[in-house]
Amino acid sequence: QEHDTLVLERLFFLQRQQRKLRWDIIVLVDQSGSMLDSVIHSAVLAAIFTSLQTLRTRLVLFDTRVVDVSEQIGD
C-alpha cells in the first residue's frame, strides 16, 4: 500500500526580484527668515521620503549653524 507522503530530497529557491540598492537622500533646508515657508514643505517631503523603504532620508537644517533633525522626521 502506498503512503500519501511526499519526501523532498532537494529544495531550490529562485528569487524573482533583484535586490535594490537603497538610496541616500539628504534634504538640506535653509531656515533663514526669508526661507521660513520652505521648512514646513521640506519637512513634509522628508517624512514622505522616510516612509519609502528604498530610501534612507536625512533632514538637515541650517541658518547660522547646521542641525541634523533626521531622528525627528516621523514626528
Contact at 8 Å (CB) between 38 and 30?
yes
pLDDT digits (tens, 9 = 90+) for 29-72: 988 887 777 788 888 888 888 888 888 999 999 988 999 998 88
Whether pTM > 0.85 for this model: the answer is no
Contact at 8 Å (CB) between 28 and 62?
yes
Q: What is the predicted pLDDT for the residue at 3?
A: 65
Q: What is the predicted pLDDT for the residue at 61?
A: 92
Does the pLDDT value for residue 1 go beyond 60? no
Q: What is the predicted pLDDT for the residue at 45?
A: 87
Query: Which has the closest alpha carbon to 62: 24, 35, 22?
Result: 35
Q: Where are the domains of the chain?
A: 23-72
C-alpha cell, 43: 519637512
Q: How far apart are the C-alpha atoms of 26 and 14, rounded to whole Å?
A: 35
Distances in Å between the alpha carbon of 8 and those of 2, 11, 39?
16, 7, 59
Phi, psi (deg, nearest 5) at residue 17: -115, 140
